[in-house]
Amino acid sequence: MKIGTVNIDFPVLLAPMAGYTDYPFRVLCKRMGAGLVYSEFVSADGIIRENIRTIEMIHFTNEERPIGIQIFGNDPQTMSQAASFVYKKFNPDIIDINYGCPVPKVTKKGGGSAALKDLCLMDEITHAVIDAVPDVPVTVKMRAGWDNNNIVIPDVGNRLENIGVKAITLHPRTTKQRYKGKANWDLIKNLKQNVSIPVIGNGDVYCVENIKAMFEYTGCDAVMIARATLGNPWIFQEAKKLFNNKNYSNSPPLTEIAKTCKEHFKLLIKSRGQSIGMNLMRKHFSNYLKGFPGAAKFRQKLVTATNFEIMKKELTIFEEYASIYTK
């Protein structure tokens, strides 16, 4: 699969997720086989102000390539300037525009999926970004519409393709639905049938079997996974096994969970320092440590560890337990 000039060797992708798809998690997913990873969504306003934390969110390593940087905003000129800055300073493989975030904090300011209420503004923003970075494929991640009375698929797909967008990721829920109800995969199928650029399906993919089912039902070119990767970066590895007709599992051995927890912890400490790294790791422990005997006890001790040495010690104890348990 190609997005513009970018080769994607495996069409199962890591979605951009605020608070989660930072450097350590992207690296882990990449090592597990993700064909393309995305940054957390980054504010165009923060980029052009060169806000330190915002710029930190864009940093990536060559190990993560191909990588997409996702930006959001409500003003064509600001989005254009932000895209240009990202390209010149970081040279990502793809720049993605967020037209999909349904969170009121974002949509009330006209960002994310608020664009679905003003398609002329969406056109202007898309044009501005594409014109600013002619050497980088620009993609879009979007929802199906603002509400059930305003579904914009497949018409918006044709508009975006004509403007020059190189791929569209569709989460087939509306903004008003947020994450409730069922994702309407028929809309992904409909979009795929009406555009010639790659269509990436997203929504209600919780396991390896769901990935295969989305490909088969919608005919999409790639599948993007979000929440199902949390505490489970192995989903990419297992999806590759399924596609190669090999035995796969939705539950890795406990030793693998312990090993990945330890590596994730190391990457966070290295990239963010002990204090911030520890605090960020707590939510990941909550995702990794579940579904096995003793999970609640280990989870509580790791999440409530008061300093680096205690957290490191409890992680070692968990690793030893995993080794014995797996035998």
Are the C-beta atoms of residues 20 and 44 closer than 8 Å to each other?
Answer: no
Decide whether 2-243 matches 254-326 in CATH topology. Answer: no
Q: Which amino acid is at 307?
A: N
Domain chopping of the chain, boundaries: 2-243, 254-326
**CA distance linking residue 16 with residue 114, whole number of Å:** 18
Distance of CA 204 to the CA centre of its chain: 14
Q: Give the pLDDT score at 326.
A: 66
Which are the catalytic amino acids? 101
Q: Give the pLDDT score at 130.
A: 98
The answer to pTM > 0.85 is yes
Q: Give the pLDDT score at 272.
A: 94
Q: Give the pLDDT score at 324.
A: 86
- CA 228, 233, 236, 237 torsion-angle sign: negative
CATH topology of domain 254-326: 1.10.1200
Which CATH code, of 3.20.20.70, 3.40.50.2300, 2.40.30.30, 3.10.450.50, is assigned to 2-243? 3.20.20.70
Tens-of-pLDDT digits for all 327 residues of the chain? Answer: 999 999 999 999 999 999 999 999 999 999 999 999 999 999 999 999 999 999 999 999 999 999 999 999 999 999 999 999 999 999 999 999 999 999 989 999 999 999 999 999 999 999 999 999 999 999 999 999 999 999 999 899 999 999 999 999 999 999 999 888 999 999 999 999 999 999 999 999 999 999 999 999 999 999 999 999 999 999 999 999 999 999 888 888 999 999 999 999 999 999 999 999 999 999 999 999 998 999 999 999 999 999 999 999 999 999 999 988 765
- Which two structure tokens, joined as six digits, stand for 23? 């450097």
Instruction: Tell me the three state secondary structure of residue 240.
Output: helix
Q: Give the pLDDT score at 251.
A: 82
Q: Which of 261, 310, 265, 309 is nearest to 287 (CA)?
A: 261
Give me the DSSP letters along 91-142. Answer: --SEEEEEE----HHHHTTT-GGGGGG-HHHHHHHHHHHHHH-TTS-EEEEE
**CA distance linking residue 178 with residue 26, whole number of Å:** 24
